[in-house]
Structure 1
Amino acid sequence: MTHVFLYGTLRHSGLLEIVLGHVPHDRLKPARLEGFHVARAKGHEFPLIVERAGTACEGLLLHDVTPQERARLDHYELGFGYRLRAVDVQGEEALVYFPDEGLWEPAEPWSLQEWRTEHWPYVRFAAGEIMSLMGQVDAAEVARRFATINQRAHAQALARGAPQPTDRRSALHREDVALRRKTPSHFGFFRTDTLKLSHPLFGGTDSADIEREVFLTGDAALVLPYDPERDRVLLIEQFRMGPYGRGDLYPWTLEPIAGRIDPGEEPAAAARRECFEEARIELDELLPVANYYPSPGEVSSFFHTFVALADLPETGQGHGGLESENEDIRTHVLSFCDSEALMRSGEINVGPLLHLLLWLKAERQELRRR
């Protein structure tokens, strides 16, 4: 029978249960692999196993791996550039998932405890998505979409941890919804699922089964930079697929600075990062405005919005964005009065920017008096 030595994140029982579909306690035992140690992959949060004389790698030896368990482990590991290799683990031959040579550079020693604290809250959702795609999307394609999988997973972690007042609305919970079926209908840069479900009605009964598509994305941080001394705002302009897909003759839109929140990142940190990436500006104070779903009937997008106090010494246009993300962004620094005129004319036609400018209009005099 085949044995597999598990190191790194698969030592975490919660992750192992998601990947295998169960935890085979009777076939798992602690073990050490001599001549190897585990390091963090440079620039990433996941572990690498690295050959090094005089060291030993802590792990779990899974005995008598079933064909189904092997297939599930392969789906989770092989698409990311790992290959199985036989080694001796305390006198027993076992297979280990080794990364392809040169694929990643090892950094400092990797810590399961640190990973559990910092990354497990969203990794559990990412692993669930990866395993749900087994048999529907090949492992290599899953690996290519790993960044967006993690963004969606982090959004789920944020949704679970956010305060949820129910003073006026119903206290009905997601657990009250009966999910019959969830099928990925599109898996690319974005993901679309087809859901079949029923939910409680306000009259006390349950709805008939409903089948709908939902467009799944990660959470985003949106920022409107404002210079209270000069009474100026900074807007960005870029080509957008949404207006183009709708048939708009002018699919370049004026917007606040915005970007997806990276896995494990706080919304405020994402706001500051995006301001530097898209407009090359450093922020002073960051003022939370509101957190909301822009279109809850069809997409999972959730916006964390801010107005940021910043130094905007020059009016006019500039250029920003990251080439690595295919961003071509033009920045506009203009007076607040000019931004009001753009709202009145309809040239500003993006909801979050309208919302942030209207918030700023209400708070502007107080901010200028500071």
Structure 2
Amino acid sequence: MTSLFVFGTLRHVPLLARVLDRDPDACGTRPAALPGHVAAAVADEDFPLLVAEEGARAEGLLIEGLTAREMARLDGYEGDFGFHLREVRVETPDGPAAAHAYFPEPGRWRTDGAWDFEGWVARWGEITALAAEEVMAAVEKGAEPAPPFARKARAWARIRGRAGAPQELRAPMTR
């Protein structure tokens, strides 16, 4: 069993549930922070990464009791962004705890200020959670997932499709 500190998009419970393929509350999720780091926005992207910053605290969740299958799914999801696991020590309300966290490949991404979790949830949360279903299906099959823009476009179309089509003719062009 493994413990993981999540600081970014995986704090969004609907996304985490799809990636883990189970209810995240069933695995001992609790608030945690990684001292000396901040969740920084990635330039021109919709996700953050951990950046070392003296005196900062990256807020997040500690997920305990992850199985090998769940870690493989998480690796498949985070590997799409070039993130790799590192051991960290996080602070929790119950004291310090050992965990792992995903860090980016050095030099792969440029940062652009602080990342706003609530703003991300409002704009991208539902789309990203739906797109994750496609990623996780590919991970389970050992296949390469479609590019992020394609997954998000399909997820956005699913969301828009829920509204249905107009029920009355508004233009005389088809008469």
TM-score computed with the length of structure 1 as normaliser: 0.42
Identify the match of residue 154 of structure 2 among 128, 152, 155.
152
User: Would you say how many aligned residue pairs link Structure 1 and Structure 2?
Assistant: 167
Q: CA deviation at 1:134?
A: 2.2
Give the Cα–Cα distance (whole angstroms) in 2 for the partners of residues 102 and 54 of structure 1: 23
Give the distance between the partners of 2:129 and 2:140, measured in 1 at CA: 20
Letter in 1 for 2:152: N
Show CA shifts across 1:326-361 (max 9, x none).
Answer: xxxxxxxxxxxxxxxxxxxxxxxxxxxxxxxxx7xx
Computed over aligned residues only, the root mean square deviation of the Cα atoms, in angstroms, reads: 2.2
1:121 lines up with 2:122 in the alignment: no
> 5 Å matches for 1:225-304?
none
1:57/1:125 CA distance change after superposition, 3 Å: same
Structure 2 Cα separation of the partners of residues 118 and 24 of structure 1: 22
Which sections of structure 2, spanning at least 5 residues, go unmatched?
none
The 5-angstrom pairing of residues 73-88 of structure 1 reads: 73-88=74-89
CA distance in 2 between partners of 1:106 and 1:145 (Å):
21
Partner of residue 36, structure 2: 35
Question: Counterparts of 1:184-263 in structure 2 under 5 Å?
Answer: none
Displacement of 1:83 in angstroms is 0.5
In the alignment, the residues of structure 2 paired with residue 79 and residue 120 of structure 1 have an alpha-carbon distance, to the nearest angstrom, of 18
| 3-state secondary structure, aligned to 1:64 | strand
Aligned to 1:16: 16
**How much has 1:135 moved relative to structure 2?**
2.7
2:100 pairs with 1:98:
no
Amino acid at match of 1:103: R
Distance in 2 between the 1:37 and 1:157 partners?
32
**2:71 is matched with which residue?**
70
Higher gyration radius (CA): 1
The Cα shift of 1:151 comes to 1.6
SS of the aligned residue for 2:66 comes to: coil
> How far apart, CA to CA, are the structure 2 residues paired with 1:158 and 1:99?
33
Distance in structure 2 (CA, Å) of the matches to 1:124 and 1:164: 24
Q: Distance in 1 between matches of 2:140 and 2:70?
A: 14
Residue 137 of structure 1: how far off its partner (Å):
4.1
Q: Give the distance between the partners of 2:80 and 2:45, measured in 1 at CA.
A: 17
Cα distance in 2 for partners of 1:69, 1:106 equals: 28
- Any runs of at least 4 consecutive aligned residues in structure 1 with deviations exceeding 3 A, and if so which? 165-168
Instruction: Tell me which of the two structures has the higher relative contact order, counting C-alpha pairs closer than 8 angstroms and 6 or more residues apart.
Output: 2
**Alpha carbons of 1:125 and 1:24: their partners in 2 closer, same or farther (altered >3 Å)?**
closer
Deviations 1:296-322 (A, max 9, x none): xxxxxxxxxxxxxxxxxxxxxxxxxxx
CA offset at residue 167 of structure 1? Answer: 6.3
